[in-house]
Structure 1
């Protein structure tokens, strides 16, 4: 079988360093949210927003905890965790955005949300797309509105802006192609209430310069139901281009507003549009120079969903959900209270390190005893003498297994150290 050809001129390989810089995410649902079918659908819609650098087919189990995903996120190169959870007592839905590997974690309260299917029902001309559509092959364009970063901006808002900006790869204006941007994610903050609105749109472009008949001919291959015009009765190409009734006649399509028309520079290879000449060939550098042409296109946004309306509740230092609170929207503490909490957190951290060191020493002691027993059994087996209670066939002590004798107190639970201190 012949070897498949790989393109090298147009398909450049991305280096490992560039791949490591790309932000990757995991969207999870934990706790009682597994029973909420509406919230489960919201998680699926949110994964479509974060495509393509996200775990789109991730499946959670009831036994999974947040620490399980944190442990697996490191080898997979995940940089952002989006965790949806629903409180069993109040029923409120929350969204936590955590930065790997050590935080911080931003917790939001979802005031309201709408699924993608609900958004399509209210649109006159909806656009339905699956998770494998070409629009999801590139990350969306992130647009932040209402966020201000200056000297008077609070630290928690600066941190919020930084976390939101680093959810997607940065855009290089010199190398990024405009035609490659198919979606846009708009995050708007209300200055009065502080609510944050998430909107997800698909970008549609349409040529507006040139004749209507020419545009209909160009776009005819996109719609398989429309047939090409009959050119049997036309004597010249001008009959097709100048006659308004040649290609479908004048339709009732509404004209695009002038505000939505932008000029986009389209670069084409000079050798592709230059006619072959019999004269002397130009220099190689001149042949490679691209020819820039500006064309007018109308841009239209079609909402895909989902919609999120949420408010920032608090910011925590780590990812465990029970670490030091950096910011809280409803609770404010004095300087003395903050110092007391800092001392308490430092004491808890010290106790946790001492306990881990003690556990490690206990495990090493058990392993040493096990190695000594193995060496003794091996020596006795070579000498032909085995004490009572040992298996002659296997050479192992039947009363004591090879597993280290670790008691429950050696692996004491650290859950008391992760209690939330407010």
Structure 2
């Protein structure tokens, strides 16, 4: 329902908070930018807490699609919530534990015994590097391919159009045409599962299918720099650049502390740097 909300430039945080409850919005993702860095704030409505991340590197979904030979984005890809996978988030560190709980609560829990496999179409991967204290954010689409079915047969079943057979002597020529074997594509390289229900027109129940992931973006490298008790305000529970327990500071004030500590922005090696575009920070979702 929140996807139909029409925001205006004069709207402020309180306006969004007032409609969050009726619309079923549980979390805010707020992007901001200073002179040298971009930030992502993840806040739980209505009373917090709020986690602030510095965006070291990012690539938009459009950038990911342009880098792929065959980008994949079915029309119903975003109809259902994504699955969440957390890697490297060890327990014991309170800020890291709070980060883990925050991201787990963003995505609905699933029951593996009753979940419909057809609704599992996306996966969000968060990988924490304890040495660099950076979090890699990746977003993939999930696709299944039946094991032991050639690419030609699979495309024939999935397509709603009759292929051009005018230049062939027999239908077997279409199946055995040079360049397409009878084996499925890269079945050995992908994990295979036995399906409990039908998915699509070619993946049938009780048959084996190869599970493959294709990145859809966006892609981000994040660093947790601050945790506030309230919704973008309140007591600072954690700060990467100063002592916790004080009043929350703005991104500009926090950037000043960062610069004074000699922490310089890293150059973006894989994606676009936040300084390169003023409007890119609006399209990360």
Q: Same fold (TM over 0.5)?
A: yes
Matched, 1:110 2:55: yes
- 1:116 Cα deviation (Å)? 1.2
Matched, 1:266 2:202: no
The structure, 1 or 2, with the larger RCO (C-alpha pairs under 8 Å, 6+ apart) is: 2
- 1:111 Cα deviation (Å)? 1.2
8 Å contact from structure 1 (residues 315, 327) kept in 2: yes
Aligned to 1:139: 81
TM-score (norm 1): 0.51
SS in structure 1 opposite 2:97? helix
8 Å contact from structure 2 (residues 195, 209) kept in 1: no
Question: Once superposed, what is the RMSD of the aligned Cα atoms?
Answer: 3.0
Q: 1:15-414, aligned counterparts within 5 Å?
A: 55-87=2-34, 90-129=35-74, 133-149=75-91, 153-209=92-148, 212=150, 216-217=152-153, 219-224=155-160, 226-227=162-163, 245=173, 247-252=175-180, 255-267=185-197, 294-319=206-231, 321-332=232-243, 338=245
State the Cα deviation string for residues 248-304 of structure 1 (Å, max 9, x = none).
524247831414141223348xxxxxxxxxxxxxxxxxxxxxxx9631212221111
State the Cα deviation string for residues 142-198 of structure 1 (Å, max 9, x = none).
11111112xxx1111111100000111101101012232111111111121111111
Residue correspondences, number: 241
SS in structure 1 opposite 2:2? coil
8 Å contact from structure 2 (residues 2, 23) kept in 1: no
Q: How far apart, in 1, do the equivalents of 2:158 and 2:180 lie?
A: 20
Per residue, is there more strand in 1 or in 2? 2
Q: How far apart, in 2, do the equivalents of 1:326 and 1:139 lie?
A: 30
- 1:113 Cα deviation (Å)? 1.3
Q: How far apart, in 2, do the equivalents of 1:166 and 1:259 lie?
A: 32
Aligned to 1:391: none
Structure 1 residue ranges without an equivalent (≥5) = 1-53, 235-239, 269-291, 346-419
Higher gyration radius (CA): 1
State the Cα deviation string for residues 129-151 of structure 1 (Å, max 9, x = none).
5xxx11111111111111112xx
Distance 1:195 1:58, change over 3 A: farther
TM-score (norm 2): 0.74
Structure 2 residue ranges without an equivalent (≥5) = 199-203, 248-253, 258-285
Q: How far apart, in 1, do the equivalents of 2:123 and 2:205 lie?
A: 25
- 1:104 Cα deviation (Å)? 0.5
SS in structure 2 opposite 1:98? strand
- 1:93 Cα deviation (Å)? 1.6
SS in structure 2 opposite 1:74? helix
Q: How far apart, in 2, do the equivalents of 1:148 and 1:204 lie?
A: 29
Per residue, is there more helix in 1 or in 2? 1
